[in-house]
A and B are shown apart, each in its own frame.
Chain A
Amino acid sequence: MPLSLLRSVVLPLVIIVAGLAVVASLSGYIERVRPAMPADYEDSDLSMNGSRLKGFALGSEGLIADWYWMRALQYIGGKIVRAPDETINIDDLRNLNPRLLYPLLDNATDLDPHFIAVYSYGAIVMPAIDPQKAIAITQKGIDNNPNEWRLYQYLGYIYWKLKMYNKAADVYERGSEVPGAAPFMRLMAASMKNEGGSRSTARDIYAEMLRSEDPQIKLTAQRRIAELDSFDEQEAIDKALAEFQDQSGRCPNSFAEIMPTLMHVKLPAGNEFQVDSANRLVDPTSAPYLLDKETCRSKVDREHSGLPLR
Chain B
Amino acid sequence: MTPTQSTLIQRLAAIARNAFREAVRDRILYNLILFVLIITASAIFLGELTAGQEARVIVNLGLSAILLFGAFISIFVGVSLVWKEIEKKTVYSIFSKPIGRGEFIIGKYLGLCLTLLVNVLVMGAGVSLALMYVGGGSLVGRIWGAILLIFLELTILTGVAIMFSSFSTPALSALLTFFVFLIGHFSSSLLDLATGLGSRGAIWLFTAIYYLLPNLSNFSFIANTANGQVPPAAMLGGAVLYALVYDIVLMTITVMIFSRRNFK
A46 to B226, CA, bound (A): 13
> Which residues of the partner chain A approach B48 to less than 8 Å between Cβ atoms?
52
A38-B227, A47-B60 known; A30-B238 Cβ under 8 A: yes
Report B204-247 CB contacts with A as 1/0, cut-off 8 Å. Answer: 00000001101100100101100111011011001101100110
Contact present for B252 and A16 (CB under 8 Å): yes
Q: Beyond A19-B248, A47-B50, is A35–B238 a contact (Cβ under 8 Å)? A: no
Contact among B238, B241, B249, B259 for A16, CB-based, below 8 A: B249
Counting contact residues on chain B (CB < 8 A from A), the size range is: 35 or more
Q: Contact: A19 with B252, CB < 8 Å?
A: yes
Pick out which of these stretches binds chain A: B17-25, B51-59, B113-121, B127-135: B51-59
Picked from B53, B228, B246, the residue with its CB within 8 Å of the CB of A47 is B53
Contact present for B212 and A12 (CB under 8 Å): no
Q: A26 near B56 (CB under 8 angstroms)?
A: no
Q: Which residues of A contact B57 (CB under 8 A)?
A: 47-48
**Digit string of B92-122 for contact with A (CB within 8 Å is 1, else 0)?**
0000000000000000000000000000000
Residues of B within 8 A of A22 (CB): 241, 245
Q: Are A27 and B242 in contact (CB under 8 A)?
A: yes
Chain A nearest Cβ from B244, distance in angstroms = 10
| A23 cross-chain contacts in B, Cβ below 8 A | 214-215, 242, 245-246, 249
A12 interface neighbour in B60, B221, B234, B252, Cβ under 8 Å:
B252
Chain A interfacial residues counted at CB < 8 A? 30
List chain B residues, Cβ under 8 A from A47: 50-51, 53, 56-57, 60
> B147 on the interface (CB 8 Å rule)?
no
Once the chains bind, are A19 and B238 in contact (CB under 8 Å)?
Answer: no
Given the interface pairs A22-B245, A23-B245, A31-B188, the reply to whether A15 lies near B252 with Cβ below 8 Å is yes
Contact (Cβ within 8 A) A15 B49: no
Chain A residues with CB under 8 Å of B45's CB are: 56
A3 to chain B, nearest CB (A): 15
A residues near B255, Cβ cutoff 8 Å: 12
Q: A31 to chain B: closest CB distance in Å?
A: 7
A49 and B211 contacting across the interface, CB-CB below 8 Å: no
Cβ of A110 to closest chain B Cβ, rounded Å: 12
Answer yes or no: B38 CB below 8 A from chain A CBs.
Answer: no
For the complex, what is the distance from the CA of A24 to the CA of B253, rounded to whole Å? 17
Q: Is A198 an interface residue (CB 8 A)?
A: no
Interchain CB contact (< 8 A) of A48 among B50, B231, B246: B50
Task: State the Cβ distance, A34 to closest chain B Cβ, in Å.
Answer: 6
Which of chain A's residues have a CB closer than 8 A to the CB of B218? 26-27, 30-31
Q: Is A128 among interface residues, defined by CB-CB distance under 8 A?
A: no
Assess whether B248 is in contact with A37, with CB atoms less than 8 Å apart.
Answer: no
CB–CB B235/A33 < 8 A = yes
Interface: A8 (CB within 8 A): yes
By the criterion CB–CB under 8 Å, are B249 and A37 in contact?
no
Contact A20 to B212, CB < 8 A, known contacts A12-B256, A38-B227: yes
A15/B242 in contact, CB under 8 A: no
Most buried by A among B49, B56, B211: B49
Residue of A33, A38, A46 with most chain B CB atoms under a 10 A cut-off: A33
Chain B nearest CB from A301 CB (Å) reads: 33
Interface residues of A in 29-61 (CB under 8 A from B): 29-31, 33-35, 37-38, 41, 44-49, 52-53, 56
- Chain A residues with Cβ below 8 Å from B229 are 35, 37-38
Residues of chain B lying within 8 A (CB to CB) of residue A44: 227
B51 near A33 with CB under 8 A, answer no
Give A201 Cβ to nearest chain B Cβ, in Å: 41
Point out the residues of chain A lying under 8 angstroms from B56, CB to CB: 47
* 14 A–B contacts from the bound complex (CB under 8 Å): A15-B248, A15-B249, A16-B252, A27-B218, A30-B238, A35-B235, A38-B227, A45-B51, A45-B53, A47-B53, A47-B56, A49-B50, A49-B51, A52-B49
Known A23-B245, A47-B56, A52-B50; further 5 A-B contacts with Cβ < 8 A = A12-B256, A16-B252, A27-B242, A37-B223, A52-B48
Ranked nearest first, the 4 interchain pairs of A and B with the lowest CB-CB distance are A19-B249, A33-B234, A30-B238, A26-B242
